[in-house]
Amino acid sequence: MIITLTANPALDRTIALSAALRSGEVQTADSVREDAGGKGVNVSRVVAAAGVDTTAVLPIALDDPYGAVVAAAGVPMKAVPVARHVRTNLTIADPEGVTTKVNLPGAPLTDADAAAITAAVVEASEGARWLVLAGSLPVGVPDSFYVDIAEAVRARWGGDAPRIAVDTSGPALREVVARGAVDLIKPNDGELVELTGVALDGGSLADAVHRVALRLVPDRAASALVTLGGAGAVLVTAEGAWFAEAPRIKVASTVGAGDSSLAGYLLAEHAGLPPVARLQSAIRYGAAAASLPGTQAPTPADLGTGDIAVRSL
Which residues are catalytically annotated?
A: 259
**Cβ atoms 216, 208 nearer than 8 A:** no
Q: Cα(156)–Cα(129) distance, rounded to whole angstroms?
A: 15
Is 274 buried (19+), middle (13-18) or exposed (0-12) by CB count in 10 A? exposed
Cβ neighbours for 173, distance < 8 A, ≥ 6 positions apart: 166, 185, 187, 191, 195
**Cβ atoms 154, 181 nearer than 8 A:** no
Task: Dihedral sign for Cα 294, 78, 1, 3, please.
Answer: positive
Q: Which residues pair with 310 in a beta bridge?
A: 244
Q: Cα(192)–Cα(195) distance, rounded to whole angstroms?
A: 5
Q: Cα(288)–Cα(297) distance, rounded to whole angstroms?
A: 9
